[in-house]
Every structure is written in C-alpha cells, then in structure tokens.
Amino acid sequence: MSRPTGRVLTLLELLQSGGTRTVAELAERLGVEGRTVRRYVGHLLDLDVPVESVRGRYGGYRLAPGYRLPPLMLSDDEALAVLLGLIAGRRTGLTTELTASETASAKIRRVLPRHTAGRLDALLESLAFTDRPGDLDTPDAAVLLTLADAVRHRRPVSIRYTDRAGQGSERTLHAYGIVAHSGRWYVTGQDARIGEDRTFRLDRITDARALPGSFEAPAGPDPAQRMLSGFATAEYRHEVTLRIQGTVDQIRAHLPAGVAHLEEHEPAADQDRTGERWLRVELRVERLDWLPAVLASLDRPFVIERPNELRDLVVALAERLASRARAHHA
C-alpha cells in the first residue's frame, strides 16, 4: 500500500473514532501539512465517505451519517469484540437475520491479520456455553427497527401477530420497550383495543408500521419487569401456591421472576415459632412434574397450599429417593 493511500485510510480511522478533529490535530497525527489533510479529505469525499467540514475556532472535520456504510476501520481488539458479539448473538438467538450475521462474521474474518485470527480461533476452541443452541426464529430487522422507533417517539404501531395457536390478528400497540429474554426478542406495551398490557414475541410479528398520534408511557416498573410479571401471572393449566421459608435471593435462585411471583407471608404464629420469614410464592405452569425436584433443591421448609396433585408428586419423589437410599445402604 502506498504511503498516501495508507494515510487516507488512517484519516478515515481517526474520523471514525468520533468527534470533530481539527486540521492541526490531523496533520500532526498523519505527519503531513494542513493542505495535505484537506487533499486527503477530498479523496474520501470522492469515495462517497460523508466527511463534514466544521467552521469556527474549534472547527475541523467530522464524519457525518451517509446514505451507505463507508469502509469501516477496526483495531484488532475491536474486530475481536464485534466477532464475539456476532457469535454470542447467533448462539443465543439474539440476532435479526442469521444469514446476515454469518456473512458479516465471514467478511471480518477474511481481513483479520493472521495473528489476530489465531487468537480468535484459540478463544473459540476454549469457549463453552452453558445453554444448548436452539432452533429459534429470529425477528425481521425492519420490524425490530420500526418498533424501536415507536418506543423512542411514543407512537402507536400497528402489528400483524400470530399467536402460539397459529391464530393471526392485527393489533394497535402502545409499545413501552423491547426486551431480550432467554434467547428471544419481545416487545411489551398496551394493546390499545383492550386497554391491557401484553407482551409479544418479535419473531411472530410479520409486519409493523407506525401510526399517527402519540401516547404517554405509564409510570411504574420498567419494560423488563412488566414482561417478567406478565409471564409469572399468565394463564396456564395449573395455579400453584406455596409458602417457603427463606430469603428472596434463596428462592429467586431456583424460581426467577419470570416464573414465580413472591410476596411476604408471615403469620404471627409462624414468626414466633421459627423467627424466620415465610414468603408466599405463586406460579402458573403447564406441567407440575418439574416442581418437586426444584423444591427439593431449595432445601428450605415449604408448605404446598395448592394443588393437591403437586403434594402427591412431592411425596412420590421423596419415597423414591428414600427407597433408593435404603437400597444403596443395604
């Protein structure tokens, strides 16, 4: 690469680092005179790189938004950070278009210096994920960006949504926020037709368009907390009520906010007898078979208020464990 061409690329990298750079600063960094800096800026403009001239005492040059993405200069550490973000996003399902993620990764890897590519390969070989990759559907990028704009400007948005039963509908949503949770994207807000808060999976939204007007976001919990509370109180086959003796942290380690609702429950008799706090725990679940093992792993005193079926499952698990322990001892 000739020295002038290399300096033009260095100029682009300096401008991409942000802010306004004076001619004197750029000339010093590039080792050239001010008029040469202006010539290099002209080269970037010829390449349709949107460089703006800023007048005044603290004027100089800065990079402006353009109609297309200009050549992007990344340091080795920045390139590694971008690649790791793409890999982690693809692994957890938090990407928009899997093909775009793969092609972006391939483009960056092709131009990495050999020693940097070797560092990345070493990291990927030693990297493990605790979750298993799933066949998760990713949201449409246009839908995601439209909803984000609606959240920022508090504009109603019309969405076409398909629920888990395969039923399609068109709704008007006052979107409060977008939430990434357990490998999926969600939008939470008020369904304007029924006047109630709802949470929608983005990969089930096939179209989104902004509507005229505006709305006021409600005070109270942030979008993530609203969504988790909605999950914990959603309609499922079984309603479970427990009383568990322990701290919030002890219970939340096994029954997170997206699964269970907690509230303090301290009858005077219980408090006098134990001196410890009891919490009421409410869940709505499709199946009960996983709960006995969770309650056992809590290793805290608990009372099952409902349903009786869960009590029977817990007793059955206890009997199986006792039977196996006796057999092993014998």
- Please tell me the distance from the alpha carbon of residue 202 to that of residue 182, in angstroms, as a whole number: 13
Q: What is the pLDDT of residue 304?
A: 94
**Res. 137 pLDDT band, cuts 50 70 90:** low
Q: Which among 208, 203, 196 has a CA at the least distance from the CA of 158?
A: 208
Q: How far apart are CA 26 and CA 11, in angstroms?
A: 7
Asked if the model's pLDDT at residue 161 lies above 90, the reply is: yes
CA distance 189 to 24: 51
Res 231: pLDDT: 64
- At residue 303, the pLDDT reads 93
88-92, 130-134, 207-211, 289-293: least confident range: 130-134
- Are residues 180 and 228 in contact, defined by beta-carbon separation less than 8 angstroms? no
Between 176-180, 182-186, 284-288, 314-318, the lowest mean confidence (pLDDT) is in 182-186
| Residue scoring higher pLDDT (227 or 273) | 227
Of 22-36, 62-76, 135-149, 203-217, the poorest mean pLDDT is in 62-76
Residue 257 half-sphere exposure, CB side, CA atoms within 13 Å?
10
Dihedral (CA of 150, 135, 131, 105) sign: negative
Q: Which two tokens stand for residue 307?
A: 């349903």
Q: Is the pLDDT of residue 100 over 90?
A: no
More confident residue, 302 or 275: 302
Per-chain mean pLDDT for the chain: 81
When pLDDT is averaged across residues 205-226 and rounded to a whole number, the result is: 84
Q: What percent of the chain has pLDDT over 70?
A: 83
pLDDT at 158: 95
DSSP string, 71-137: P----HHHHHHHHHHHHHHHHHT--S-HHHHHHHHHHHHHTS-HHHHHHHHHHHHH---SSPP--PP
- Write the DSSP symbol of residue 68: S
Q: How far apart, in whole angstroms, are the C-alpha atoms of residue 84 and residue 108?
A: 11
* Dihedral sign (CA 218, 221, 227, 229): negative
Q: What pLDDT is attached to residue 103? A: 79
H helices within the chain, ranges in order?
3-16, 23-30, 34-46, 76-92, 98-110, 114-126, 141-153, 223-232, 248-252, 268-274, 291-298, 308-329
pLDDT 10s digits, 25-41: 999 999 999 899 999 99
Q: Which of 93-102, 155-164, 262-271, 282-291 has the lowest mean pLDDT?
A: 262-271
Q: Assess whether pLDDT exceeds 60 at residue 112.
A: yes
Tokens representing 308?
A: 């009786």
Say what the pLDDT of residue 310 is: 92
Q: What is the per-residue pLDDT for 276?
A: 67
Name the one residue in this structure whose structure tokens are 């179209």: 207
pLDDT in tens, 170-210: 999 999 888 877 667 888 888 988 888 888 888 899 999 99
The Cα 177–Cα 111 span in angstroms is 37
What angle, rounded to 10 degrees, do the helices at 76-92 and 114-126 form? 30
